[in-house]
Amino acid sequence: MSLQSRWPFALAAVLVVHAPDAIADPVADFYSANNVRIIIRSGPGGTYDLYSRLLSQHMLNHVPGRPAMINVNMPGGGGIIAANHVGLAAPRDGTILSIIGLGLPVDQALGLNKSLQVNLRDFNWIGSVSSSNQVLVTWHKSKVTSLNSARETPSQIGSTGAGSVSQQYPAFYNAFLGTKFNVIFGYGGTPPLNLAMERGEIDGSGSASWAQYTIEAPRLVKEKLIVPLIQVGLEKEPDLQDVPLLLDLAKTPEEAAAFRFLSNSVNFGRPVATTPGVPADRLAALRRAFDQTMVDPRFLDDVKRAGGEVRPMSSGDLAKLVNELTTTSEPLRSKLRTVLSQR
């Protein structure tokens, strides 16, 4: 056989040998062979569970290799159990995602809860799905239906427990705004708190995201059965323009710094993280998949149908926010530690 006649066969052999190398994708190969577990910091129901399940349903379409995404509820400790698992025990290979609890950067910055064993700065941040202002609400029949009346009249405000934002925020308002909230512990979440308000057991609920009311209890919002007294965030909710924003109430530099700290912690939102130590190529793939999911029309439609909203934050901005919150100056930390620990 002549050299000319052998050339097509030689070329074919080269293509056969080198084609797999040209199209190989180690990230896709890894995820096609492995499931991704989404660790949910709460039990079934509620906004953490909702956003986690919607994320698992749609994000898999954008991860190379299209891995199955399995939801694992791991409630307890206001999200501390889930965070400790992700940071200390879970595989560090890119097969773990979790929406981290809103209050944990404050816990770490102020050393409020010794059971938080992880350093949030060590996590690999993927991005935040949404942020929703924290609001303290009272029942519409309560004697306290404004911030001014809360300064004049003592009221019974329900909380899920010591160390939760529903305990910390009323304590903060008492110290800085002169309110007279008496915090009652022991309610197992927003639905029991709502029921207690409706029964007249308590005047109001210490703090929950506005999205929790619009998603979990829309009747209370539509029928104006709850009255938001104050909201915490970087700007007002579109449908709460008449409710005071904490940032706007600062009268001294000290108050401005304290109010900014609390407001930044709310902006943490519903942040998605993976474990420390994830290989760089898999981490980049997860971040791309998250960003693509945030603009996926099918994801956006499902969130809208569920009554939620998407206000995404990039992984870089999220990591910067976590670092800012957890490295607050010691004088401010000392002041806030005292205030937020009050019961």
CATH code of 172's domain: 3.40.190.10
Q: What is the mean pLDDT of the chain?
A: 90
Torsion, Cα 80 78 313 281, to 10 degrees, reads 30
Instruction: Name the strand (E) or helix (H) holding 28.
Output: helix 26-32
- Provide the 3-class DSSP secondary structure of residue 136: strand
Least confident range of 41-50, 139-148, 201-210, 314-323: 41-50
Domain end point (choices 265, 281, 296): 265
Domain end point (choices 214, 231, 265): 265
DSSP per-residue string spanning 43-105: -SSSHHHHHHHHHHHHHTTTSTT---EEEEE---GGGHHHHHIIIIIS-SSS-EEEE--TTHH
Q: What is the count of structural domains for the chain?
A: 2
pLDDT in tens, 59-95: 999 999 999 999 999 988 878 999 999 999 999 999 9
pLDDT in tens, 271-314: 999 999 999 999 999 999 999 999 999 999 999 998 888 999 99
Asked if pLDDT for residue 18 goes beyond 80, the answer is: no
- With cut-offs at 50, 70 and 90, classify the pLDDT of residue 327: confident
Structural domain includes residue 260:
yes
Helix axis angle for 330-340 and 165-177, nearest 10°, is: 110
Q: For tokens 């799905």, what's the residue? A: 129
Percent of the chain with pLDDT over 90: 69
User: Does 54 lie in the same domain as 127?
Assistant: yes
User: Does 275 lie in the same domain as 241?
Assistant: no
d(CA 191, CA 179): 25
At residue 301, the pLDDT reads: 97
- With cut-offs at 50, 70 and 90, classify the pLDDT of residue 147: very high
Structural domain includes residue 4:
no
Structural domain includes residue 153:
yes
At residue 19, the pLDDT reads: 47
At residue 6, the pLDDT reads: 47
User: Does 51 lie in the same domain as 38?
Assistant: yes
For residue 42, what is the DSSP state? S
DSSP per-residue string spanning 253-317: HHHHHHHHHHHHHHHT-SEEEE-TT--HHHHHHHHHHHHHHTT-HHHHHHHHHTT-----B-HHH
User: Does 261 lie in the same domain as 140?
Assistant: yes
Structural domain includes residue 309:
yes
pLDDT in tens, 214-245: 888 999 999 999 999 999 999 999 999 999 99
pLDDT in tens, 22-33: 467 999 999 999
User: Does 49 lie in the same domain as 157?
Assistant: no
User: Does 282 lie in the same domain as 191?
Assistant: no
* Joined tokens for residue 38: 């989404």
Fill in the amino acid letter for 269: G
pLDDT in tens, 88-139: 999 999 999 999 988 888 889 888 888 999 999 999 999 999 989 999 999 9
Q: Cα 280 from chain centroid? A: 24
Asked if pLDDT for residue 43 goes beyond 90, the answer is: no
User: Does 142 lie in the same domain as 68?
Assistant: no
At residue 163, the pLDDT reads: 66
User: Does 216 lie in the same domain as 124?
Assistant: no
Domain end point (choices 265, 297, 313): 265
Nearest to 210 by CA among 185, 235, 184: 235
d(CA 211, CA 224): 15
For residue 244, what is the DSSP state? P
Determine the structural domain holding residue 61 and report its residue range.
26-131+269-327
What are the backbone dihedrals phi and psi of residue 46, each rounded to the nearest 5 degrees, phi first?
90, 170
Q: Which residues contact 205 (CB under 8 A, 6 or more apart)?
A: 136, 137, 157, 158, 159, 166, 190, 193, 194, 197, 226
CATH of the domain at 73: 3.40.190.150
What are the backbone dihedrals phi and psi of residue 184, each rounded to the nearest 5 degrees, phi first?
-110, 120
Q: For strand 226-232 and strand 134-139, is the pairing parallel, antiparallel, or unpaired? A: antiparallel
At residue 325, the pLDDT reads: 87
Strand partners, 273: 98, 125
User: Does 232 lie in the same domain as 153?
Assistant: yes
- With cut-offs at 50, 70 and 90, classify the pLDDT of residue 17: very low
Buried b (16+ CB within 10 A) or exposed e, 273-300: bbbbebeeebbebbbebbbebbebeebb
Least confident range of 93-102, 169-178, 226-235, 320-329: 320-329
pTM of the model: 0.81
* Joined tokens for residue 5: 């006649």
